[in-house]
């Protein structure tokens, strides 16, 4: 039996440890049209260099285009306390031998005008995507859908209410979650189901290829960061690959149509993603209907997702 075609995907990311693992999975399981970068985990120069370096490691000749360095309105923030000054502290990457383009938004618009039905997988702040929607109101309508890592139905990690990617640019998130195409939210309540462990690292180490070494280093860096910070039972999640796998292996996921609102105000709630799990309002108005474009992705077969990450690494052994 012939294998089904790989989904055609645009990736918008801010590498970042878990973005690097996501790119390994994208190289294995998707037909990636291009990569755009955004300032997020670290500044735009670093995220772009890291994306190019992962491509260099894999021998992967896919276009890379740098995008927004700062949010639409918010003050810039980053996650250097998590990913280190380089964004990839603890991981060994080669120096890139090629340069990135400098117009991520233009690239996204050109790609969707040339080919409708692409998936867009953003795993960083949503600034580039919002700018593309502003520049061309038809942009999102040309996509098959947007499957993003961000938000959460049960609270945040930067604040009690807000997850990093949405909190970094809430105004951009509000634009993107209002897109006319399907928008699938892979939030913290989902990604925390896919965690790394010493046993997972050992599986990667037995492969001994460039991708497996990178992913093992990422997992070890994550575990070192969690050691002494979280409870003894806690294991660090791999956020960003989950959003990519939700496109390439949708059968592993459970999702439901639900309104999702972005909070733009409040000292404690700015950047929160409010998933309305009601079926109707108190007055009886239906909340779940065909016009709702947002999907809450809420459960995953975590063991199968980890197996796919290991198998993606084998493709580069």
SS3 assignment for the chain? CCCCCCCEEEEEECCCHHHHHHHHHHHHHCEEEEEEECCCCCCHHHHHHHHHHHHHHHCCCCCEEECCCCCCCCCCCCCHHHHCCCCCCCCCCCCCCCCCECCHHHHHHHHHHHCCCEEEEECCCCHHHHHHHHHCCCCHHHEEEEEEECCCCCCCCCCCCECHHHHHCHHHHHHHCCCCCCEEEECHHHHCCCECCHHHHHHHHHHCCHHHHHHHHHHHHHHHHHCCCCCCCCCCECHHHHHHHHHHCHHHEEEEECCEEECCCCCCCCCEEEECCCCECCCCCECCCCCCCEEEEEEECHHHHHHHHHHHHHCCC
Phi/psi of residue 195, nearest 5 degrees: -120, 155
Tokens representing 78 are 């980053």
Candidates 239, 249, 254, 289; catalytic one:
239
In the residue annotation, 17 being an active-site residue is answered as no
**Of residues 97, 12, 95, 81, the one with CA closest to residue 42:** 81
Q: Residue written as tokens 């995907």?
A: 9
The separation between CA 2 and the C-alpha centre of its own chain, rounded to angstroms, equals: 29
CA angle 90, 96, 100 (to 5 degrees): 115
Q: Annotated active-site positions, please?
A: 239
């Amino acid at each position: 039996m012939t294998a089904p075609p790989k989904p055609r995907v645009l990736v918008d990311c801010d590498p970042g440890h878990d973005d690097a693992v996501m790119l390994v999975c994208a190289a294995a399981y998707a037909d990636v049209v291009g990569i755009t970068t955004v300032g997020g985990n670290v500044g735009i120069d670093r995220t772009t260099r890291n994306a190019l370096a992962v491509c260099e490691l894999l021998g992967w000749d896919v276009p890379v285009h740098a995008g927004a360095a700062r949010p639409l309105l918010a003050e810039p923030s980053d996650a250097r306390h998590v990913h280190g000054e380089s964004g990839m502290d603890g991981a060994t990457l080669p120096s890139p031998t090629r340069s990135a383009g400098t117009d991520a938004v233009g690239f996204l618009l050109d790609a969707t005008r040339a080919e409708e039905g692409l998936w867009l997988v953003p795993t960083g702040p949503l600034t580039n995507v919002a700018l593309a929607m502003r520049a061309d109101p038809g942009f999102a309508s040309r996509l098959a859908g947007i499957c993003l890592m961000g938000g959460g139905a049960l609270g945040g990690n930067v604040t009690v209410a807000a997850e990093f990617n949405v909190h970094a640019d809430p105004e951009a998130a509000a634009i993107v979650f209002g897109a006319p195409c399907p928008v699938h939210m892979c939030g913290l309540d989902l990604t925390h189901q896919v965690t790394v462990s010493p046993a997972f690292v050992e599986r990667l180490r037995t492969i001994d290829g460039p991708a497996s070494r990178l992913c093992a280093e990422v997992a070890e860096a994550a575990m070192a960061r969690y050691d002494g910070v979280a409870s003894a039972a806690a294991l660090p999640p791999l956020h960003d690959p989950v959003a990519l796998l939700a496109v390439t292996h949708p059968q592993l996921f459970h999702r439901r149509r639900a309104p999702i609102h972005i909070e733009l105000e409040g000292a404690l709630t700015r950047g929160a993603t409010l998933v309305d799990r009601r079926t109707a309002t108190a007055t009886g108005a239906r909340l779940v209907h065909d016009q709702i474009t947002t999907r809450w992705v809420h459960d995953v077969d975590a063991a199968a997702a980890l197996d796919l990450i290991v198998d993606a690494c084998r493709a580069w052994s």
